[in-house]
Structure 1
Amino acid sequence: MLLLHFPPFLMLLAFAPAAIAYRFLDPARRPPFLIYGIRWFLGLLFVFSGLAKLIPRFPNTMGPPNLEATLAPHGLAAYGRFIAVAEVGTGFLLLTRRFATLGALMLVPILVSILVVTWSLAWRGTPYVVAVFLGLAGVLLVYDWPKLAGLLEDRRPAPAGTGRRLAAALGWLAGLGVVAAGLGVVRLAGAGGAGTWVVLGALVALIVLDYRAAGRPD
């Protein structure tokens, strides 16, 4: 049971089923395992880091768990709270199939802001670690460039079935909103334990639904 409070073990435990599932994904549609692994590494790292800042006694993967209190003397308590929420949301998107590209895109400005703040506050070592994560996010964006390049092209007629896929995506995002509201309740109540497991279970359920909806990753 002590291992459940050891963040690297938790990340490995969470990635194990994803690594096994990778073998059963359509080879023609699945990303290279390196890209798949980077997505899950960054996703799990930031989900756990954000939850540790929001939920008492949650195992922490990086940064001070009491980030708000650490930044409060500098007038940045609200920024600390924002970073915690952004880490959970962006990290979770990286774990999904449909929104992994969006997660990588969102992660870049978040990491840049963390890099600037930690550098300005002269935190030893932290800016260099963040720079490594920024480089990994850059690798993901290079891989996803064909998708992103489409945003720069002239608009084309939407392919058939776009409305149905959009409705499914919006429904999934609505479910994520409900989970986020539940996380807020757990935080306000100052409770861990069962509340934390309910939130984690709901997040896992959303990931499973996302992969089942498409049958394979991008």
Structure 2
Amino acid sequence: MKKFFIQGTSAFLGFTFWGAGMVKLYNGHNFIQWIGPPWLVERLVEFDLGLFAQFIAICQIIIGFMLITTRYKLLGGIMLIPMILNILMVTISQNWRGTPYVLTGLLAMNIFVLWQYRNYFKPILNESTDFPKSIQSSKTWIGHLVWLSGLGLCLASIWVSYQNLVAAFVMAGLGLLTGILSFKTDQHFTQTH
């Protein structure tokens, strides 16, 4: 039950930020999301910060994809801390009501996910390369490539959204499914070798 809750929390955070990034870059902002603002890129273009806004959206997509597929939830969770803190500072400085509380909740959820992996931080903090066997991974290079191809499909769907929105949605869905199923590739290749 605890593992399911951790995976669910990671997937929720991932969907939140993956969707927030995709909606900013999709044609007409036609994508599923529950936090915004979807118009961030257009608004920041007025201040010559359009490229920066696109960079933020791409980072949200990548971090969100790491978390929603749960393959790289530790790395995604670490990367999500500065992302949330930056967004939080912007919302506080702009006197947005409610949003800082939502972001604080998301930050707390992320810290909860990271707390489950606290043993991973000991070698990092000690700058040691000796990882205990209990935290060594059974992930394969093929699985990593499958996951990366899923991320690539999601990113490519942004361009496709300007040509055909339905095809873009299908690509994004297939990309997400590919990323999630990358674990199956690991299982297949570790069992056959």
Same fold (TM over 0.5): yes
2:9 matches 1:38 = yes
For residue 155 of structure 1, what is the aligned residue in structure 2? Answer: 129
* Distance of 2:93 and 2:74 partners within structure 1: 29
Deviation, structure 1 residue 136: 1.1
User: Any unmatched runs of 5+ in structure 1?
Assistant: 1-26
Matches of 1:141 and 1:95, distance apart in 2? 14
Contact 2:153 2:171 in 1 (8 A): no
Give the root-mean-square deviation of aligned CA atoms.
Answer: 2.9
Shift of 1:190: 5.5
Contact 1:115–1:130 (Cα < 8 Å) also in 2: yes
How much does 1:207 deviate? Answer: 1.1
2: CA distance, partners of 1:194 / 1:60: 18
CA distance in 2, matches of 1:157, 1:133: 29
Q: Normalised by the size of structure 1, how large is the TM-score?
A: 0.70
Partners of 2:5 and 2:151 in 1: CA distance? 30
Could you report, residue by residue, the CA deviation over 1:115-167 in whole angstroms, capped at 9, with x for unpaired residues? 122222222322221121111111111111112222234223897xx8x9463
Query: Between Structure 1 and Structure 2, how many residues are aligned?
Result: 183
Q: Cα distance 1:117–1:111, how it changes in 2: closer, same or farther (>3 A)? A: same
Please show how residues 79-90 of structure 1 align to structure 2 within 5 Å: 79-90=52-63
Superposition TM-score, scaled by structure 2 size: 0.78
- Look up the equivalent residue of 1:139 and give its one-letter code: F
Q: C-alpha distance in 1, partners of 2:131/2:5? A: 34
Q: Which residue of 2 aligns with 1:186?
A: 160
Instruction: Measure how far apart 1:172 and its partner are.
Output: 3.5
How much has 1:77 moved relative to structure 2? 2.6
Q: Which runs of 4+ in 1 moved over 4 A?
A: none
